[in-house]
Structure 1
């Protein structure tokens, strides 16, 4: 179970790093995806920073599990909020948020079982 926890943590960390960097640099594709949700481009660095903080927490969490668990709980809440934002805006393009929520929830489940 420990190996699965490390693998899922690393996969999620890489995904959050990529997504977070795209928000930090305000990639045009990301800005366009956020506009229908009413998220101003000025907020993207904050959202990206939260994802990168999750990345750091997951990586350190490999050696200090309580931090990894806290980080992944934060990511579950982040993506639950993202899905709520999509629903409020009546935006059906929420597959990415759903995928990341499922990956975060699976990582949380495995981390809790391994510790």
Structure 2
């Protein structure tokens, strides 16, 4: 894999690792956001676990590209959900920007690695 792709994939994995830890551990910011959005706190934890799973898949994907394809697909779909929440709440572009950037980076990684998805364990 090209070095730029590895760097983007690694940074995306680290960003989702931080976001997932914040949600699972219940940082005030995440608790407040989920309350503001009218979403239950158990959904915050589930979202954090999905983000941690996706981050782990991206990191494993440095050595096994099929994992990067699967992880980026999972995280891209998750970010579509996040973007829809921001749209529903009529949040500003500033409030929505992180979800949009994470979605775009997930799509980039998926496009770079999508040919490997067929190699993902149990996918065949």
After TM superposition, is the score higher than 0.5? Answer: yes
Which residue of 2 is the match for residue 4 of structure 1?
A: 4
Q: Is the 8 A contact 2:66 2:116 kept in 1?
A: no
Equivalent of 1:94, from 70, 93, 96?
A: 96
Which deviates more from structure 2 when the two are superposed, residues 57-66 or residues 87-96? 87-96
What is the count of residue pairs matched by the alignment?
Answer: 115
Unmatched runs of 5 consecutive residues or more in structure 1 = none
CA RMSD of aligned residues (A): 2.0
Greater relative CO (CA pairs within 8 A, separation 6+) = 1
Deviations, residues 36-93 of structure 1 (Å, cap 9, x unaligned)? 2222222211110000000111111111111110110111111011101111222332
* CA deviation after TM superposition for structure 1 residue 108, in Å: 2.2
Q: CA deviation at 1:113?
A: 7.9
Equivalent pair of 1:2/1:114 in contact (CA under 8 Å): no
Please report the TM-score for the alignment, with normalisation by the length of structure 1: 0.88
Structure 2 residues not aligned, in runs of 5+: 118-124
